[in-house]
Chains A and B, each alone.
Chain A
């Protein structure tokens, strides 16, 4: 228990006291580039989301056809077009989410954000390019294991990075007090 006078002695007038809702341990890594595992999990979550979306839509459509059509035949050989649709939706989804704040669902859950190496948000063009590279060559992420700065092939080519940014899912209670000097 510190008394108020002790608190006052250590307190620097004019200094900003920052209270954050982030867990103590997570504060130091905010804004630091994220490693392979976090990003891979985020990617799998995104892929899973798109897979559920595509397969669900397709399954629903086939189910509807089965119900309505008496002469229904089991679909066959549709794997490849479905995969293409999946790739396309993945591309659109990543483009959209990275250009609007830098987070897809997987990124939000894992507390990640995609940004340029200068720290800005990705523009639409850059996001589309990075998204396309990620969809076509997802294995580029493996380079994050080797790169000292946790950069994937896409990051190196497009000068982007993925950083930890846990804030938005937590309750927003950033209380910043600016002290005025009394004397």
Chain B
């Protein structure tokens, strides 16, 4: 032992050997740790993937099997207060999506607002006047029809044509 200690060169060599051995050892440990970690990771991930794949195929089938045997509407009716949920809903965005003008148009069309206004504001005088005008127009059509027949005209006059087209519609 003293010989070894006394020789500085041998002491240096020994130190080198020891340190080399140490680093090799630590490298080996690191390698082992890395290999172990990688293995674990790969194992976990592949297990997860396999599990997911299995679940992806199994769960829908299972849920479908369950759901088809249960009436969800019934459950919601029994256990959920729909009014409560609707009461909490934000109305403005819903109203923003509602076609107001179209609804207004529909209402006016459906209750025939123009005729209501006509009937309520027109009154008797207006009706008399319309009657007089229509009578004049009918007389016109009659008379011009005779004249046109005398002149062997096939085409009717514009006023007569318009009115009779309208009458066919009704």
Q: Chain A: residues with CB nearer than 8 A to chain B?
A: 1-2, 4, 7-8, 11, 17, 19-21, 23-29, 32-38, 41, 109-111, 145-146, 148-150, 164, 166, 169-171, 173, 175, 177, 179-180, 182
- Tell which of A28, A35, A111, A182 touches B165, judged by Cβ atoms closer than 8 Å: A28
> B99 near A182 (CB under 8 angstroms)?
yes
> A4 near B103 (CB under 8 angstroms)?
yes
Residues of the A chain whose Cβ atoms lie less than 8 Å from the Cβ of B126:
169-170
Q: How far is the CB of A126 from chain B (nearest CB, A)?
A: 23
CA of A117 to CA of B132, assembled, Å = 26
CA of A78 to CA of B104, assembled, Å = 65
> B114 near A37 (CB under 8 angstroms)?
no
Residues of the B chain whose Cβ atoms lie less than 8 Å from the Cβ of A111:
129, 133
Q: State whether the Cβ of B159 lies closer than 8 Å to any Cβ in chain A.
A: yes
- Tell which of B122, B136, B151, B155 touches A37, judged by Cβ atoms closer than 8 Å: B136
> B122 near A36 (CB under 8 angstroms)?
no
CA of A66 to CA of B165, assembled, Å = 60
- Tell which of B101, B114, B134, B155 touches A173, judged by Cβ atoms closer than 8 Å: B114
Q: State whether the Cβ of B118 lies closer than 8 Å to any Cβ in chain A.
A: yes
The 4 closest A-B pairs by CB, nearest first: A35-B140, A38-B136, A37-B139, A28-B162
> B158 near A149 (CB under 8 angstroms)?
yes
A–B complex contacts, Cβ < 8 Å, 25 sampled: A7-B105, A8-B99, A8-B106, A21-B114, A25-B167, A27-B166, A28-B166, A29-B159, A29-B163, A29-B166, A32-B159, A33-B158, A34-B140, A34-B159, A35-B137, A35-B140, A36-B143, A37-B143, A38-B133, A110-B133, A145-B144, A169-B126, A171-B117, A173-B117, A179-B102
Q: Which of A41, A148, A149, A180 has the most CB of B within 10 A?
A: A148
Q: How far is the CB of A137 from chain B (nearest CB, A)?
A: 20
> A148 near B110 (CB under 8 angstroms)?
no
- Tell which of B110, B122, B144, B167 touches A1, judged by Cβ atoms closer than 8 Å: B110
CA of A4 to CA of B101, assembled, Å = 12
Residues of the A chain whose Cβ atoms lie less than 8 Å from the Cβ of B162:
28-29, 32
- Tell which of A8, A20, A35, A145 touches B159, judged by Cβ atoms closer than 8 Å: A35
- Tell which of B110, B143, B166, B170 touches A145, judged by Cβ atoms closer than 8 Å: B143
Q: How far is the CB of A121 from chain B (nearest CB, A)?
A: 21
